[in-house]
Amino acid sequence: MVDLPSAEHVALVAVCVLAAIVAWDAYWLTKQRRDVPELGQLPGGGFAWSSEGVHEMIRQWGNLGSMAAMMVLPWALLEASDTPVIYAILWDVFLGLHLISLLVPKRYAITSTHLFADGQRYPWERLRLAKRQPKRRIMLLRNGWGPFGPLPLGGDPQSLGVAREYIKAMEQARQPLPAEKEAE
28: which DSSP letter? H
Over 90: is that where the pLDDT of 13 sits? yes
The reply to whether 179 falls in a domain is no
User: Quick check: pTM over 0.75?
Assistant: yes
The reply to whether 180 falls in a domain is no
Can you give the pLDDT at residue 64? 87
Annotate 139-174 with b (16+ C-beta within 10 A) or e (fewer): ebbeeeeeeeeebbbbbeeebbeebeebbeebeeee
Can you give the pLDDT at residue 37? 87
Can you give the pLDDT at residue 129? 87
Q: How many domains does the chain have?
A: 1
The reply to whether 182 falls in a domain is no
The reply to whether 55 falls in a domain is yes
CA distance 170 to 172: 5
Q: In the structure, what pLDDT confidence band is assigned to residue 20 with cuts at 50, 70 and 90?
A: very high
- Give the domain range for residue 153: 7-174
